[in-house]
Structure 1
Amino acid sequence: MNKSRVTSMQVAHKAGVSQSAVSRVFTPGGSVSDKTREKVMRAAESLGYSPNVLARAMTTGRSQIIGLVVAYLDNQFYPEAIERLAVALQEQGYHALVFMATPTIGDTDDVMRQLLDYQVDGIVLASVSMSSSLASKCEDHGIPVVLFNRDQDDARMSAVTTDNIEGGRAIARHFAEKGAQRVGYVAGFEGASTQIDREKGFLQGLEEAGLSLAMREVGGFEYPLARTAALEFCAGRDRPDAVFVCNDHMAFAFVDAVRHKIGMRIPEDLLVAGFDDVPIAAWPAYDLTSYRQPINRMVAQTVDVLLAQIDNADIPARKLRLEGELIVRGSTGGPSQRQG
């Protein structure tokens, strides 16, 4: 037989306090004496009571829930980012509700409509974008939206990214310093701001160094497509001598294909650089040169911007670009990271 849910009224009766006192105990920041809090918690524990977060949201207007929408979890950057975002929000008294989406705006909008049913206090979009009409709906409901590792041309949404343009430019400069002459680029998903800005910076850097892009393939941020791109690059005689792959996840696929299917040596025959600097980049199997995203600062800024807008709806949206760092390793002839 199913047990009925314990109510706050029952807890109040057992603790000898008012129902409003029970509500204040389970509301973050609620004003209540230590004595009352102790009585309520003791009664709640003995009855097996847990507060109904969504019901509380109906009365307080706050659910203490932040919606996190993410795609590309096979990209090693995002599981780490989502974990850190969830922990940072929890430290501020909020809970993360994670929804999965694909990079296409239509699919993201469907997920977002579901998310709004949970009466979230704010939304973080990681690696995805949303339509203008849905952005208007969030604005009408007073729900702030922050884009994480993405940006789009909408002044209503805050965004926190690495300076992807400068990251691409730094990799181009590094290739030039290494004497590269025939340079290739493996693009990510063409509609992503990260892809657009990284390629823009890379082309600028090549031009500044007196070089031009010799080859280009699209990997779409997917391992199989990036592997195919590697085979296309190296199929003929006019092979590149340096390739920038738009993120580390694709760079691992590129390196695997070049080494094991084509038999080229890295870095002796080909320089390869990625972007993100996920932990696997430092593993001896890849020893990958990569532009490091400042993930801790990105998470901290995202949480600060979001919570500030939750507390004060009049705060304008902010677009933050944080400086990263080029980490040079063996894949471009830098210091080897070999262990042992």
Structure 2
Amino acid sequence: MAKIRKMSDHKLPVTSKDVAKLAGVSQSTVSRVFVPGSSVAEKTKQKVYEAAKALNYRPNAFARSLTTNESKLIGLVFPDADYPIHMKTLQLISSELQKQGYSAVLIPWQMDAKDTHTIPNIFQYRVDAVIAASATMNTALYEECAELNIPIVQYARVVEGTKSSYVVSDNYSAGQKAAEVFHDAGVKSAVYLTGEVPTFTNGERQTGFCTEFEALTGREAKVVEANYDYQESVEAIRELLSHSERPEAIFCATDNLAMALMDVARHEFNLAVPQDLKIIGFDDIPQAKWISYQLSTFSQDFARLARESVKIIVNQIQDKDMSLVKLMVPVRYVERETV
């Protein structure tokens, strides 16, 4: 076949009809070529690709979605992305989706007048499915998806009162392990330091820790509520460390809390870590490895969480498999220098 010359003088917007004419095929053939998985002869595909390149043609994904009833877009509903692990997980999920022929679109969440999180009408995004990673939203998102028959999977979070599949880390076992580590270090008094927003996953971690610590030591571990934000948590941490019965060890709900605790303990109370105060965090964010912290913490298998979440979503879209999946992924304790 003679090589098709580039049509540099083509002024009007290029359509699939133009590509079909140049390639010598039907317009419907051009449409099928740009639909993944369609049955088109390889020789015909090459003719269409060459014509499309010559005309600088870009297939209209939205128009194609009207024909196939699939946009190949998956909505990702995430909390703010300034916490290090959130950006990492966005990248992992996007990569897994690309492997399956889908693209990710980040759907914003907003604060309403009642200080609760809301999601704009999800239908406007024309997504095939949703992966949600926020545990502080109400059930409205899940109800809206159910009404619109949009599959939704919860990633590393569980919103109680919903009937959707989820993939989470084994938070209860992480709590048990933290209690065991403190017990092995001879700790007799311990605290679970948490944030102000109750979540199912954090509750599991707290329960695992408190239950196991009492079983091992015969003593009750206290629960202290601070704030998940570094700066906002400082006042509660000061009050905790000022107490006459200061704990020997503290298991923190996040690494952010653990690092705030370390800084206040060292710089305001002249406490040595781990000699005077033993600390364990959760998440293994990059800063946990910094020389000034060297924080003992728990690492979640975000790559597997992403892989399993995408697998469930793809099964629901392509195979119409709406089975309820509840999957727990093991966590790994990372020992550094704070215990």
Work out whether the TM-score is over 0.5. Answer: yes
1:207-256 deviations in Å (ceiling 9; x for gaps): 2112212451222x222223333222212433221111101122222222
1:329 counterpart SS class: coil
Given the alignment of the two structures, is residue 39 of structure 1 paired with residue 47 of structure 2, yes or no?
Answer: yes
Structure 1 distance, partners of 2:246, 2:337, is 20
What amino acid maps onto 1:125 in structure 2?
A: A
1:299-330 deviations in Å (ceiling 9; x for gaps): 11111111111113343121111111211110
Tell me which moved more, 169-178 or 5-14: 5-14
Give the aligned partner of residue 337 of structure 1: none
Q: Higher Cα Rg: structure 1 or 2?
A: 2
Distance 1:55 1:250, change over 3 A: farther
Given the alignment of the two structures, is residue 117 of structure 1 paired with residue 128 of structure 2, yes or no?
Answer: no
How much does 1:178 deviate?
A: 0.9
1:18-72 deviations in Å (ceiling 9; x for gaps): 2222212211212212222212222222222222222211111111000001004
Aligned-CA RMSD value: 2.2
Aligned length in residues: 327
2:273 counterpart SS class: coil
How much does 1:101 deviate?
A: 2.4
Tell me which moved more, 26-35 or 95-104: 95-104
Which ranges of structure 2 fall in alignment gaps of 5 or more residues?
Answer: 1-10
2:313 to 295, 306, 314: 306
Given the alignment of the two structures, is residue 24 of structure 1 paired with residue 21 of structure 2, yes or no?
Answer: no
Given the alignment of the two structures, is residue 265 of structure 1 paired with residue 276 of structure 2, yes or no?
Answer: no
Structure 1 distance, partners of 2:173, 2:64, is 46
Given the alignment of the two structures, is residue 48 of structure 1 paired with residue 48 of structure 2, yes or no?
Answer: no
2:308 counterpart SS class: helix
Give the aligned partner of residue 179 of structure 1: 186
Give the aligned partner of residue 188 of structure 1: 195
What amino acid maps onto 2:236 in structure 1?
A: A
Aligned pairs for 1:248-259 (under 5 A) are 248-259=255-266
Which ranges of structure 1 fall in alignment gaps of 5 or more residues?
Answer: 333-340
2:323 counterpart SS class: coil
Structure 2 distance, partners of 1:261, 1:267, is 16
Give the aligned partner of residue 103 of structure 2: 95
1:160 counterpart SS class: strand
Given the alignment of the two structures, is residue 57 of structure 1 paired with residue 61 of structure 2, yes or no?
Answer: no
1:139 counterpart SS class: helix
Structure 1 distance, partners of 2:140, 2:71, is 24
Tell me which moved more, 281-290 or 75-84: 281-290
Distance 1:96 1:106, change over 3 A: farther
Structure 1 distance, partners of 2:13, 2:206, is 55
Give the aligned partner of residue 198 of structure 1: 205
* Matched-pair contact (CA < 8 Å) for 1:71–1:102: no
2:282 counterpart SS class: strand
Tell me which moved more, 208-217 or 31-40: 208-217
